[in-house]
């Protein structure tokens, strides 16, 4: 998948654990874990908005596009 999820870096920068984020955005830890490991096939705008609100970032900070070689 050429779209990378940079949740790990954001969490690291903000010193927040995945469990804490799960509590803040009201998304299950299992789903956030799927997102973090890049196994998610799609992300809802509502999820994106909740994560951006919790981490005070822009969608572009969370996602990156890397074309396939």
Applying CB under 8 A, which residues contact other proteins?
Answer: 27, 31-32, 34-35, 39-44, 47
Give the shortest CB-61-to-other proteins separation in angstroms.
17
Question: Is 30 or 69 the residue whose CB approaches other proteins more closely?
Answer: 30
Query: Cβ(3)–Cβ(64) under 8 Å?
Result: yes
55 in Cβ contact with 69 (< 8 Å) = no
DSSP assigned state of 41: S
Provide the sign of the torsion angle of the four alpha carbons 22, 26, 28, 33, taken in this order. Answer: negative
Find the shortest distance in angstroms from Cβ 11 to other proteins. Answer: 15
CB nearer other proteins, residue 38 or residue 69: 38
């Amino acid at each position: 998948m050429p779209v990378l999820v940079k949740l790990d870096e954001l969490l690291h920068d903000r010193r927040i654990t995945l469990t804490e984020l799960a509590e803040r955005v009201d998304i299950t830890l299992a789903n956030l874990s799927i997102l973090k490991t890049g196994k998610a096939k799609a992300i809802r705008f509502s999820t994106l908005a909740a994560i951006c609100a919790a981490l005070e970032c822009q969608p572009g900070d969370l996602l990156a596009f890397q074309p396939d070689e």
